[in-house]
Structure 1
Amino acid sequence: MRNRSLITWGIILAILIGSGVLTILLPALLGGEGATPLPSTPSSVTIPLPVPIGGRSELTLLSWQAMLALALLVPALVIGAGLTLALVYIILSRLVARNAADPERQQNATALQKRQDERIKQMRQTRPTSRAPESTWRRWRVITTGAIILMFVAFATFLIASLLFPDRQIVRQDNIVNIVSLAVLAALLIALVIMIFALRADRLAAIDQTESLAIPWDMIAVVVTGLLVVGLGIGVIAILNAPQ
């Protein structure tokens, strides 16, 4: 199973990298000619050094050199951070497993659990529970979810209306109207009407039951890997098309 997973990842990486390289080299393979580059002056990037090195307080690189350095630095930092986290996780997991297998700790944990069970049993006999009925929880679930949805609708509408109307006001029949506030109120009313007919406790309970599903790490890893390869491909294209 593990070998099959490695083969799958190898195929995905080969497809991503191969498609990027093919995109760059396809015009030359088909005998086409690249577009004539516009005349331009090579740009440079000046990076101040925190500590003078060799009597120099800053480092000047061409743009393609800086892009190449970033293309090498970002994967190195990602891999280094991943290895560090993996090492910390392995050390902590071994410590936890060693402590869990300790016989003395198991005896202490069993005795502590027994005392806690006896204490809870005595408290239940002397103190009646005051747990709210299920109907109360269902009602508050709908109320809190509706309040959260209204908050996000108000924020999103406010941002969009502010972008469309930077002055936030318009003149309508010699009257100044705050169009942003009206848009927010209209969006809130529409969202409220929709939630009155669509937001039900049963639907929220069904959504809560799906929260125990496994996180799709494979899909997340594929997306992140694809973005990384696309970024490296853009860097390679920028280096190949850099003005001479």
Structure 2
Amino acid sequence: MTIRVFLADDQGLVRGGFRMLIEAEDDLEVVGEAIDGADAVRQLQREPADVVLMDIRMPNLDGVEATAQLTAAGNPTRVLILTTFDLDEYVYAALRAGASGFLLKDARPGDLLAAIRSVAAGDAVVAPSATKRLLQRVLPTLPGEEQHERDRRLEQLTPRELDVLKEIAAGATNSEIAATLYMAEGTVKTHIGRLLAKLQCRDRVSLVLFAYETGLVPR
């Protein structure tokens, strides 16, 4: 099945480069473009796509607010944020607004294509190296450990589920978690499904944020 991709970026050269890369793939197609967040929201409300590549800084409506509006409206389009490290604080806000992940604009073409496919399949894209650098920027803005209140949802988790959650927060992939915790990859997926349900989290990104915000994972 062809994955329908929408491009939201105020730079025409950037959109053109992404379009050429995406349309060279048999299973991907670009179905629309927008020069700002407001235009993206309008178009996607009329005709949702599978994945939108969303820039952060755009005129009229930035990528964070556009993501929040799409999520609040229950739009099925999944958002993949494209950014640079100096905008990490905006990425954090976008993830909380409902984005399914983020990549750097200078990511390798293969990584971008893989990220689009992963997000379209319902997974979240959080590159371990980028996650660590993001957290280095945003963790100082979060409450200190002494200010954390014990989230009652943590009490529902088994010791094994807590182990899996900590590995996810560290940026580990399913295969890495399986190797570290000595379990089958299918078992890891089962635990992740239970974590999403018990913690009422939307995706893997939400699990990472939950782990840090509740103080489960130390700074």
Q: Verify same fold: TM over 0.5.
A: no
Bigger fraction of residues in strand: 2
| TM-score in terms of structure 1 length | 0.18
| TM-score in terms of structure 2 length | 0.19
Bigger fraction of residues in helix: 1
User: Quick one: higher RCO (CA 8 Å, sep 6+), 1 or 2?
Assistant: 1
Larger radius of gyration: 1
